[in-house]
């Protein structure tokens, strides 16, 4: 059945193939490019590449004969995403801007921009969604490496009801092949590896511009010996390996003391018994609109293919019961110690098999 669909396009191969597939299916399509680049804030990093992205968007839409509109979202993005991540980083936590971008901008403020005549909003995310008569279920993408349900976990049921992910059933290699078959201008364009609003820019440079430098000590976790100095604890996250810059490694960040501005590291990361057993999670969003009462589920606490079998020990803030309202805290215990550190501020996302149930912010890791 022909639908009226708003398609979010970014200038990358994934959203381009999404647009082409929906066009092939005969839908009434309108493409939208969300401009969230903060030119003034990012001017210190050089020329913002949003124009290059938009050039690709324009070329793809012209080839497919789909009208495209640029929607300015800079202020919304700054107020709802950028300000939050800077606050969290300054507090020593590890936020995820991509989750917030999807929740507040792509499937949030953008819904308010378009009118109610649009049946769906489609994106190039690697995820799948099953629309039933009463509920929409978010499921993992077919490509386990590219699966992006972690970034979509905080969407509400109302947001999911209008969402489409046309390439979620495809592996990345096939998406590339389809781009070639459609002769899309983006077929050979490299994927962006950057954070939602920074693109190819360096995240550390962005943090430095907002928070500056604050020299402190790097200390070996096991011995208490000072091994070096750093320029601010906010440049480090639990489990980090790259960027420590010391010989004798590999070194990993295992803990941070925010008040004393100390970063603790270890080169025996597998043996360090901290931040690997479980987490307390607040503001959990059950994206189907109701709480799952199962006590054994899989959890992800960062983007990637790895999921961890876990037990939900408590649904209540005070630990007194297993059933409560949707906004209670969860205590999630891993069945086996993680090889990766768990960082406060990250999102914990729960899965029942391939079904993504939702996510919440990690208040505490232990």
The radius of gyration of the chain from alpha carbons, rounded to an integer in Å, stands at 21
What is the full DSSP assignment across 146-170?
T--HHHHTT--HHHHTTEE-TTTTS
Residues 6+ away with beta carbon under 8 Å from 270: 339
The encoded tokens of residue 266 equal 């270890």
CA distance 87 to 81: 10
For the question of residue 61 being annotated catalytic, the response is: no
Catalytic residue among 61, 196, 292, 356: 196
Q: Nearest 5°: phi and psi at 118?
A: -80, 125
159 near 111, Cβ under 8 Å? yes
For the question of residue 196 being annotated catalytic, the response is: yes
Sheet of 226-230: strand order equals 226-230, 216-220, 262-266, 252-257
Catalytic residue among 61, 101, 292, 356: 101
Place of tokens 């978010």: 138
67 near 196, Cβ under 8 Å? no
Q: Which residues are catalytic?
A: 101, 196
């Amino acid at each position: 059945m022909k639908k009226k669909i708003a398609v979010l396009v970014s200038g990358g191969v994934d959203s381009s193939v999404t647009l082409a597939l929906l066009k092939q299916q005969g839908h009434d399509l309108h493409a939208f490019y969300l401009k969230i680049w903060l030119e003034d804030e990012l001017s210190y990093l050089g020329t913002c590449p949003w124009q290059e992205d938009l050039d690709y968007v324009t070329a793809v839409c012209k080839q497919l004969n789909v009208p495209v509109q640029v929607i300015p979202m800079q202020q919304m993005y700054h107020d709802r995403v950028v300000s939050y991540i800077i606050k969290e980083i300054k507090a020593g936590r590890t936020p995820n801007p991509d989750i917030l971008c999807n929740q507040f901008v792509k499937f949030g403020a953008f819904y308010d921009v378009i009118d109610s005549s649009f049946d769906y909003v489609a994106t190039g995310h690697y995820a799948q969604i099953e629309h039933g008569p009463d509920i929409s279920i978010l499921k993992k993408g077919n490509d386990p490496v590219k699966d992006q349900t972690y970034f979509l976990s905080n969407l509400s049921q109302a947001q999911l009801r209008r969402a489409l992910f046309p390439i979620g059933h495809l592996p990345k290699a096939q998406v590339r092949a389809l781009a070639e078959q459609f002769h899309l201008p983006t077929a050979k364009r490299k994927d962006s590896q950057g954070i939602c609003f920074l693109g190819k820019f360096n995240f550390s440079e962005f943090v430095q511009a907002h928070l500056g430098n604050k020299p402190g000590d790097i200390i070996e976790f096991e011995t208490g010996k000072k091994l070096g100095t750093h320029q601010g604890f906010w440049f480090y996250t639990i489990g980090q390996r790259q960027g420590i810059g010391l010989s004798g490694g590999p070194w990993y960040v295992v803990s941070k003391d925010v008040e004393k501005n100390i970063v603790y590291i270890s080169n025996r990361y597998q043996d360090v018994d901290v931040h690997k057993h479980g987490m307390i999670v607040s503001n959990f969003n059950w994206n189907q609109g109701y709480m799952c009462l199962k006590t054994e589920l899989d959890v992800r606490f960062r983007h990637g293919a790895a999921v961890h079998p876990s037990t939900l020990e408590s649904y209540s803030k005070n630990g007194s019961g297993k059933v409560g309202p949707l906004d209670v805290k969860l205590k999630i215990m891993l069945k086996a110690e993680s090889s990766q550190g768990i960082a406060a501020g990250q999102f914990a996302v729960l899965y029942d098999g391939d079904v993504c149930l939702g996510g919440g912010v990690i208040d505490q890791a232990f």
